Structure 1
Amino acid sequence: MSTRAAMASGVVMMLAAVTMVFGAQGQAGAEQVVPQAIPSLKSWVPGGSSFALGAHARVLYAQDVLRDSATDLAEGLRAVTGNDVVAQSGSVGESGDLVLRTGSVPAAPESPEAYRISVSETLELTGVDVAGTFYATRSALQLLRRGTTLPGGVVTDWPEYRERGLMLDVGREYMPVDMLRAQIRRMGQLKLNVLHLHLSDRFGFRLGSDRHPEVTAQEHYSKQELRDLIAYAAHYQVEIVPEVDFPGHMNGILAAHSELKLRSVNGVVSDAAIDIADPRSYDLMRDILEEFLPLFPGRYWHLGADEFLLDGLRVASFEDYPQIGAYARATYGPQAQPVDALLGLINWGAAIVREHGKRPRIWNDGLHTGEGTIAIDSDIVVDFWSRAGIAQLPLPYFGIARTAVDLIASGHEVRNAAFTPTYFVTGGPTSIGNVPAPIAYELWDPAVFVDGSRLTPQQNAGNLGSGLFVWCDDPTVRTPAQIAVSITMPLRVMAQKTWGPARAGSYLEFAALSDAVAEPVS
């Protein structure tokens, strides 16, 4: 297909297979049993006594902050082995026990998510921080799922990227809380740490609002449901990043505020875009931000800022809205360009986000090379999905949007949200661009962006990571349960890509191992 061909020609290179370093020389012809997990383990050094899970094993936690991780591991081991495994406080195990602790992890780069598993008569799981210890339990559970005996040695593991995520478009298709919880559990098993919720779009504003109940969709999440979900996610080391998209994709909000819809000079009314030249628009957007920013304790708030002038398949330009140009000149000076109104809105929203102790994020397509007289604030994280720009048809492989290299050089951190292959569209015409998991696995890694450009290692330090972005353009095509099944292998591939190494054996080997050790689909 043409979209897949474009992706293949843009990405250009296949990554070489990653070889694990085993660190010890065995006798000639001797074979070492290498522990395997998904995502794959960075380092395995064999040696010493083997481990056999005791029939009445204990999972000991040396610090109280690890109690939940120990309890969860004990439950998982009981489920997959049938052994009588219990969790309890303690730091010295006996043969067949597992011990959880935090501490230093030699031979790993500096990361709070790094961990070590020392395999001997006991299984010692040590993380730099709580997150690292939790990930050690996920690997241990996978290893023991294949058999309750492990060869002696030491696993050292750490992530390549800081952000490894899943985005769900619940604005177009409401997904029940139970389904979200199931995905969080799956994310924990795969060492994915960011759940990005796109909470407002064409078919609904999914937050239960007290200030503006008129904008809340019939199917929505109450504040208590969200508090509970946030706490549940934290148990699995998953941070929730909320997104309420401004100033486009606001159909669910503007259905109750038609007076604020963007109107062209010819009288064409947008159902998706708010009029950023109208002061009342800022009052409504501020109300929404101020109400919901305190609800989410995480580090980020996503402001959207994408496809402002794209309404369905109708593409407009700033020339169609002279009031926006007039507003930009009145606000930012006589030399201002119409796009400055959008850039100023981004900075305006970012300031409100910072007032609540969070860092702002946006999509990249509204940032055009050489356009505008003001710059957006450099602390804004940019999710980079397209080179097309907001005033072009959505062909994301080329166009006028600033490059990832340019944004990083300007001080921004970016996340690689390349339309191909990180997007999974559940239905509608754009779903033709879905890249099969084997192709993504063989041909792509998070340093390669949508236009085929690859960041240098120095530039890639400004790349937070990537993940799977699930868009529900046509919410009638798949139910939430069907979506959950459909993203099983794409999500596993993205977990491997972002934790690293980017490729561990052939895809067939990876898929077989995934089915043997990875998370349940439900």
Structure 2
Amino acid sequence: MAERGRRTLGLLGLAAALTLFAAPVPALAQEAPPPPVTVPALSNWSSSSGSYAYGHWTRLVAASGAARRVAGTLAEDLRAAGHGTVPVVSGGARSGDIVIDIKPSDRSLGAEGYELRSGARLSVTGATETGAFYGTRTLLQLLAQGDRIPAGRTIDVPRYRERGVGVCACYIHVSMPWLENLVHEMAYHKLNQLLLELKVKSDTHPEADTWGYYTKAEIRRLVALGDRYHVDIVPEINSPGHMDPWIENRPDLQLTDSDGTEQPARLDITRPEAFAYYTSLMDEYAQVFTSRSWHMGADEYMLGSDFAKYPQILKYARDKYGPDATPQDAFVEFVNRVQAYAAAKGKRLRIWNDGLTGANTVPVAAGTTVEHWLDVAVKPSRLISQGHALMNASYALYLVRGGFHSDTEALYDERWDPRTFEGEKLTSSERVTGAKISLWPDNGRGETENEVADELWPALRHIAQATWGEPHPDGTYAEFTARGTAVGHAPGWHDLTRVPVPDGTYTFRTDGASYRTELLRTADGYATLRTPEGCLEVHGGKLTLNVPLQPGTEVSRRPCDSANTLQRWQLEPTAGGYHLVNAITRMAVTVADGGRLVQYPPDRRVPAVWRLT
């Protein structure tokens, strides 16, 4: 026993000596788990042990009226996303609940930031209703990946206050379901501004109601959706250029060149009645749009021409501002009059930058936001030094229908951010309000709406990331796009590529017409309709942006061409059958005298109902 004890003590002494002289062995570092996947990415996630479990026991707890509005929208979206019906209650929270809270005293969250905590229960807190709403968008993205959310906490605040998309539905109609999808997707990704250049059907000026318009009822529904989802829908009537959708039937308002030729696209800014006409349209738009912003365009007034062909503009400027005035002063004066009119109505004016060439002596009115899309002589830094707020609407962010497409992967790899303008990169984000992508219809038949959507979603997620947070959260673009795949589409988004009947040969019948037709689905989710005489196509009439937009244009049978988008049709289900709506013109087929097929907007003539057998 004694010998064994001495041997044990000797071993212990040796171990102690080895401990004294051995290099210390570091403990294995515990790598923090990555933040949950969202778009935009969470930049400051602090993880905890455990997870939050969503299930049939979950309730939405909200006390205040604003919090209950947020909870009500969340409950609808949870149901739409397949997460069941969740009650909204005002009592105390228990395990498994989701708590929506609004604390105006928490100034660290700003106007749109939120705090999300995940544990036994999950809480979303904003200083404002908008901030709390954005926290629920993050929650929905997390639940899209499973009913368990890792425990942890984030405070998520946007870097820029304007994060947007612009859509020119100014000539080529864009369907309401497509625009509604866009609003849902924007809100889901925390984008907050949608610019819509479009025509609202006018009661005051029915002579302007050529096709391309939206009814006031349609716009009210879309604006209500935007208001509910915290997307500010900013209207635009482009002026004084690109006015042909409005003044093609008003030659008295058209600018006349030195040869006596009237210019249907150019408003005569020297005529008082032209200003009165434009502001009366602003007043009519105010009946349906709730935004506090008004966009007047002010781009490309002299596109394809120059002021020298219109001496009356120089005379107007000099009569008003003296012998050193320039034609550009008359242009800026028109902008400033619109700005003053908008301000008197409680609205802020927005314009494009390319009309500001520096040739003016009259300054643009203070308070006008400039949206910079084109590199011209007056650089962004100069506009900022003049006191203007600047939004980045760079041409690099454009998706032109049938033309230029933004290279989202290249922009991501370049770590593009809203300080990078066309022609200049700013060192500071001061007075930069944010950025947006723009959809323009230059070649209207170049792509269908569904094809545009395929290009849009990656660009939309990129602009959401670059305007909300760090522009390059992942090492590769493939990793970033995987985020979009993980979070999926927004609740309320509808797949518009579904053709409601299978391919096959059908007899299409309606009152006064019957055709034996082969229906084939196209890759972009429409149908071609092939008869023995050829494929159904809208053909004829005056082309605008390569599209026949006139109501009453004939729908005839032409040689089949799979690349011809005017031969693609949407079958819209209706009582007793289907309406045939052209994929590009968005007008429906009706039957005229003699059995002729023609296109008309649905509020002008009731679409034919086609029965398929």
TM-score (norm 2): 0.72
Which of residues 230, 233, 237 in structure 1 aligns to 2:226? 233
CA deviations over 1:90-116 (Å, ceiling 9, x no partner): 25322111111112697x855211001
Q: Which residue of 1 aligns with 2:191?
A: 192
8 Å CA contact retained: 1:57, 1:85:
no
**Cα distance in structure 2, aligned partners of 1:241 and 1:78:** 29
In terms of fraction of residues, the more helix-rich structure is 1
- CA shift, 1:359, in A, is 0.6
- CA shift, 1:160, in A, is 0.9
State the number of aligned residues.
464
Q: Which residue of 1 aligns with 2:555?
A: none
The one-letter amino acid of 1:162's match is: R
Q: Does 1:382 align with 2:370?
A: yes
**Cα distance in structure 1, aligned partners of 2:91 and 2:453:** 39
Matched residue of 1:185: which SS? Answer: helix
Matched residue of 1:217: which SS? Answer: coil
- CA shift, 1:172, in A, is 2.0
Q: Which residue of 1 aligns with 2:417?
A: 445
Matched residue of 2:399: which SS? Answer: strand
In terms of fraction of residues, the more strand-rich structure is 2
Unaligned runs of 5+ residues in structure 1 are 1-25, 200-205, 389-399
Between Structure 1 and Structure 2, whose CA radius of gyration is higher?
2
CA deviations over 1:242-270 (Å, ceiling 9, x no partner): 00011000111121112322222134442
**Cα distance in structure 2, aligned partners of 1:46 and 1:94:** 21
Matched residue of 1:325: which SS? Answer: helix
**Cα distance in structure 2, aligned partners of 1:404 and 1:91:** 52
8 Å CA contact retained: 1:417, 1:467:
yes
**Cα distance in structure 1, aligned partners of 2:80 and 2:173:** 31
Q: Which residue of 2 aligns with 1:395?
A: none
> Measured at CA, do residues 361 and 79 of structure 1 come closer, stay the same or move farther in structure 2, by a change above 3 Å?
closer
Q: Does 1:280 align with 2:273?
A: yes
Q: Does 1:320 align with 2:315?
A: no
Q: Which residue of 2 aligns with 1:15?
A: none
Give identity over the alignment, percent.
34
Matched residue of 1:379: which SS? Answer: coil
Q: Which residue of 2 aligns with 1:62?
A: 63
- CA shift, 1:474, in A, is 1.7
**Cα distance in structure 2, aligned partners of 1:415 and 1:217:** 32
Which of residues 341, 346, 353 in structure 2 aligns to 1:357? 346
How large is the RMSD of aligned CA atoms in angstroms? 2.0
- CA shift, 1:83, in A, is 4.8
The one-letter amino acid of 1:512's match is: A
8 Å CA contact retained: 1:261, 1:270:
yes
Which of residues 409, 432, 436 in structure 1 aligns to 2:385? 409
8 Å CA contact retained: 1:299, 1:357:
yes
- CA shift, 1:271, in A, is 2.6
**Cα distance in structure 1, aligned partners of 2:92 and 2:28:** 33
Q: Which residue of 2 aligns with 1:213?
A: 206
The equivalences for 1:272-351 within 5 A come to 272-310=265-303, 315-351=304-340
After TM superposition, the structure 1 stretch with the greater mean CA deviation from structure 2, 247-256 or 478-487, is 478-487
Q: Does 1:435 align with 2:435?
A: no
Q: Does 1:77 align with 2:47?
A: no
- CA shift, 1:59, in A, is 1.7
CA deviations over 1:85-143 (Å, ceiling 9, x no partner): 4131225322111111112697x855211001111100011111111111111101111
Unaligned runs of 5+ residues in structure 2 are 1-26, 495-613
- CA shift, 1:518, in A, is 3.5
Q: Which residue of 2 aligns with 1:271?
A: 264
**Cα distance in structure 2, aligned partners of 1:71 and 1:380:** 36
> Measured at CA, do residues 463 and 188 of structure 1 come closer, stay the same or move farther in structure 2, by a change above 3 Å?
same
The one-letter amino acid of 2:432's match is: N
Q: Which residue of 1 aligns with 2:480?
A: 510
8 Å CA contact retained: 1:59, 1:97:
yes
**Cα distance in structure 2, aligned partners of 1:375 and 1:387:** 19
CA deviations over 1:31-78 (Å, ceiling 9, x no partner): 525212001112101125421113321122222223343233234434
Q: Does 1:245 align with 2:238?
A: yes
8 Å CA contact retained: 1:42, 1:158:
no
- CA shift, 1:282, in A, is 2.0
8 Å CA contact retained: 1:437, 1:489:
yes
- CA shift, 1:277, in A, is 2.2
CA deviations over 1:321-348 (Å, ceiling 9, x no partner): 1111001111222321111100000001
- CA shift, 1:424, in A, is 0.9
Q: Does 1:367 align with 2:356?
A: yes
